[in-house]
Amino acid sequence: MSGRRCIKGVSTREGTRTGTRRGSRGVVDEGAVIARVRAGEPEAYAELVRAHTSVALRAAMAFGAGADAEDVVQSAFIKAYQSLGRFREGAEFRPWLLRIVVNETRNTVRSAGRLRALAGREALLLGSEPLIPESTDPALAALADERRTQLLAALDELSEDQRQVVAYRYLLEMDEAETAEALGVARGTVKSRLHRALTRLGRLIGAKGGEEHE
């Protein structure tokens, strides 16, 4: 799937220039693109694939797809294409797509009989820009690695609802409204779940840090 992707007969290459204007998060007028697909122009779907492949891969990895992330995303894009007829007009495409990605990830993990892929989430975080420059004291860099490991371990101790809201808000950098749309809950529910999740994370990480210094 790397470089070149085929979705229901639509072949795309990431980075290809097109005539559609883009915003900071992808295609500006997604509604128009979806309307073109529904009207019998399947090649227009490539616009949505290019705009959302990166975040879809991050979502699959964040929810445990690991090495299967690309296959999960490929399947999710196909299912999204097949379901465009049921897509609610005026809704945001990204939260809707990510809900499909997360469901597909769960099915993949469940069918493989594996636990959540902690290594996949660690790879996701390690793939980001380093928080500490390479020139920093090695002892400080080691401390940062230790804290990241503590965070990942603590995430696994959260409830599924709490882990999801943390992943959407911070790993996938979705705002409150998008997170609510992706989870299918009210914004107030997102706030309360996130508050409980962050409170528990703080306690878990604090407890682990205390144990190590005893």
* CA–CA separation, 101 and 97 (whole Å): 6
Residues 213 and 163 in one domain: yes
Among 93, 115, 137, residue at a domain's last position: 115
Residue-wise pLDDT tens digits, 87-134: 988 889 999 999 999 999 988 877 655 444 444 555 555 554 444 344
Q: Span 127-156, mean pLDDT?
A: 57
Which CATH number fits the domain that encloses residue 107?
A: 1.10.1740.10
| pLDDT > 50? residue 45 | yes
CATH number for the domain spanning 168: value is 1.10.10.10
Q: Does one domain contain both 110 and 138?
A: no
Does residue 5 sit in the same domain as residue 98? yes
Same domain? For 88 and 7 the reply is: yes
Answer yes or no: pTM beyond 0.95: no
Would 33 be classed as within a structural domain? Answer: yes
CA distances from 147 to 65, 204, 206, 209 (A): 23, 12, 11, 9
C-alpha distance from residue 164 to each of 60, 64, 133, 159, 212 (Å):
12, 11, 30, 9, 28
In a domain? residue 15: yes
Residue 106 tokens read as: 């769960």
Is residue 124 situated within a structural domain? no
Q: What is the pLDDT of residue 196?
A: 92
The answer as to whether 122 is a domain residue is no
In terms of residue numbers, what domain contains 147? Answer: 129-214
Pick the last residue of a domain from 115, 146, 172.
115
Report the pLDDT value the prediction gives residue 63, as an integer from 0 to 100: 86
**pLDDT average, residue stretch 180-186:** 91
118: left (phi over 0), alpha (psi -120 to 50) or beta: alpha
Residues 158 and 196 in one domain: yes
Same domain (yes/no): 14, 72: yes
